[in-house]
Chains A and B, each alone.
Chain A
Amino acid sequence: MIFEARGLTKQYGGLTAVSGVDMELAAGDLVGLIGPNGAGKTTCFNLITGADVPTSGTIRFKGEDVTHARDFEMARKGVARTFQNIRLWREMDVLDNVRAVCHARETCGFAAAVLRLPRFGRVERDVTEKATALLRRLGLGDVLAESPGDLPYGDQRKLEIARALALDPDLLLLDEPAAGMNPTEKAQLMETVKDLRREFDLTILLIDHDMKFVMGICERIYVLDHGERIAHGTPDEIRADPKVIEAYLGSEC
């Protein structure tokens, strides 16, 4: 088990966003997290990445208790994420967006940077190579000097993924990666995600509203409703689960 959450609970004042959720991920898993709007999926992501602290419950990652770890600590331990509302750094070009994240765990050193010592040159070269390779792998090799705001929506989402991969993560959280894509792009994305998992030795947890996408790619799925875990299983099991059907139908009324 590379990741375990037990009894995860988050309360904001009087509102309970997440209550008693259990989740586990083994290395290499590709797992989905679904549920109607407001079910608590994004809150779970926030708790896992350290953006928020659980009211109660524990989180273990790679054998370590990380319940109270902060966001950048979690990132350095190997948890990366993309965002539902794209959060690229718009005043830096595509290459710099990825380079800024590379080597987040180390640096070339302040003195070396300012005085342009040889070490600076070496580190810059390594970082640029790594970033360029990542971007090429995601099909963005031609737009390195572009501004993220000028890219088509689908490419922006791919840039987010490239940026997350620059952290060398073990666990990758994808928040609505297929949002705003057309069916062809979604099919491509499905293949890309599976390939990336293999190439980069990733464990992937993803949220999305497109059922076809989630069912088509995930091996297991967790279902949340009103902050609680109501189902867990393979896509076929989830499809047939009456509680899941009721949660979705019920929320449409």
Chain B
Amino acid sequence: MLDYLLNGLALGAIFAFIALGYTMVYGIIKLINFAHGEFFMFGAFLGFFALRDLGLERLPLPQPLPILLSYVVALTAASIGAGVLAVATERIAYRPVRRAGRIAALITAVCVSLILQNVAIKAWGAKPQAYPQPREWMSVADVDGVADANLYAVKRITTTGGEVVENEVRVVDAGQTVDETTRASLGAAGYGRVYRQWRLDRGWTRGFVILALALWTPVLWFLVKRTRMGKAMRAVSEDADAAQLMGIDINRVISWTFFLGAFVAGVGGVAYCVSYGKVEPLTGFLPGMKAFIAAVIGGIGSIPGAILGGLVLGTAESLIPYALREGLGWEAAFAWKDAIAFALLIVILVFKPTGILGRPVREKV
């Protein structure tokens, strides 16, 4: 059961990362940014390309630097890229609708979400693609002795159509002894470098995500509570007109909020895809909705609420089906796990619509 709990917490941390973006944007312009899940997806894809195409992990540096470097660059690309997309979306699609009312803004957000999803399908194909797991590259000349794992190499071949395709071939089996002869034959076949495929252990990704959340929370707290921009964000969220009268540039604050929210979501995107091993244009849809639900559960507009809501939802999604399966013998419990988020949403909207940490809003008569 501990396993399920930790899985739930890790999933919850990812939800929290995404939920932060929803809650910050809602807090500031009272808009449910339906397209937030797509920022997440975009970040994940940027990370994917960074990992797959940049070749950073092949750098001839001492291990594990190349792997770390490639993932750090991927995370950076993902978060900054998502942030930029968010700012662009806000300027192009949301700013013109700000005055048109909440319903119009919400519909626009739904439309942006669908547009981004389908543009991604056009650009990258609808099929899920495998997310690169870390590889430890080494020069053939360095391999010696008994191999402790399978080793692979990449072979470039030109198809009959003239296309250059990369094939991955297993060249050394685990337990096989590598000596001069093996190296010579590898060299003759044209392989200069080989790699060992790491399978990122569940424990590794879980630990990473939870650690990331733990590190991010104080950073975010500092940004929001102590910096000028953070205070400006809170001011605009309380009373936009008053903030403007005090000389705060609302547009800049809003852009910053979008950037920050998507930045964090981009990190979540890479983490999510690394955990689940694949990425596709629709990646953002379901986690996006669930993260939004998490934000509502925790109290939309509240940053600690988003984190709390994310963790609650993640753990619930992992533990409730587990309990149903073990306790009631319901084998198919896990197939329904997506419904848990929605059921929780309706429960919270009925009993405490402002969320666990939210404050009630009164209407003036």
Contacts and interface: CB of A to CB of B under 8 A. Distances in A.
Interface of A: 12, 42, 45-46, 51, 83
Closest 6 CB pairs of A and B: A51-B365, A46-B365, A42-B365, A83-B365, A12-B362, A45-B365
* Overall SS of chain B's interface: loop
A13 B362 CA distance: 12
A169 to B, nearest CB: 18
Contacts of B365: 42, 45-46, 51, 83
Contacts of A42: 365
Nearest to B359: A13
6 contacts: A12-B362, A42-B365, A45-B365, A46-B365, A51-B365, A83-B365
A83 B365 CA distance: 8
Interface in B332-365: 362, 365
A46 B365 CA distance: 8
A42 B365 CA distance: 8
Nearest to A51: B365
Contacts of B362: 12
Contacts of A45: 365
Contacts of A51: 365
Contacts of A46: 365
Nearest to B362: A12
A46 B362 CA distance: 13
B365 to A, nearest CB: 6
B238 to A, nearest CB: 16
B363 to A, nearest CB: 9
B163 to A, nearest CB: 62
B53 to A, nearest CB: 56
Nearest to B363: A51
A113 B314 CA distance: 50
Nearest to A12: B362
A160 B362 CA distance: 24
Contacts of A12: 362
A104 B132 CA distance: 66
A96 B365 CA distance: 22
A73 B11 CA distance: 47
Nearest to A71: B365
A109 to B, nearest CB: 30
A138 B365 CA distance: 25
A51 B364 CA distance: 10
B359 to A, nearest CB: 9
Nearest to A83: B365
A51 B365 CA distance: 8
Interface in B106-137: none
A165 to B, nearest CB: 20
A103 to B, nearest CB: 24
A227 B127 CA distance: 66
A204 to B, nearest CB: 19
A12 B363 CA distance: 13
A174 to B, nearest CB: 14
A45 B365 CA distance: 10
A241 to B, nearest CB: 29
B47 to A, nearest CB: 45
Contacts of A83: 365
B306 to A, nearest CB: 23
A45 B364 CA distance: 12
Interface string B57-94: 00000000000000000000000000000000000000
A56 to B, nearest CB: 19
A86 to B, nearest CB: 12
A52 B13 CA distance: 40
A51 B362 CA distance: 11
Nearest to A45: B365
Interface string B7-18: 000000000000
A51 B363 CA distance: 10
A12 B365 CA distance: 15
A83 B363 CA distance: 14
A42 B363 CA distance: 13
A141 to B, nearest CB: 30
B358 to A, nearest CB: 14
Nearest to A87: B365
A46 B364 CA distance: 10
A45 B362 CA distance: 16
B361 to A, nearest CB: 12
B18 to A, nearest CB: 32
Nearest to A84: B365
Nearest to A175: B365
Nearest to A42: B365
B273 to A, nearest CB: 44
Nearest to A52: B365
B206 to A, nearest CB: 41
A83 B364 CA distance: 11
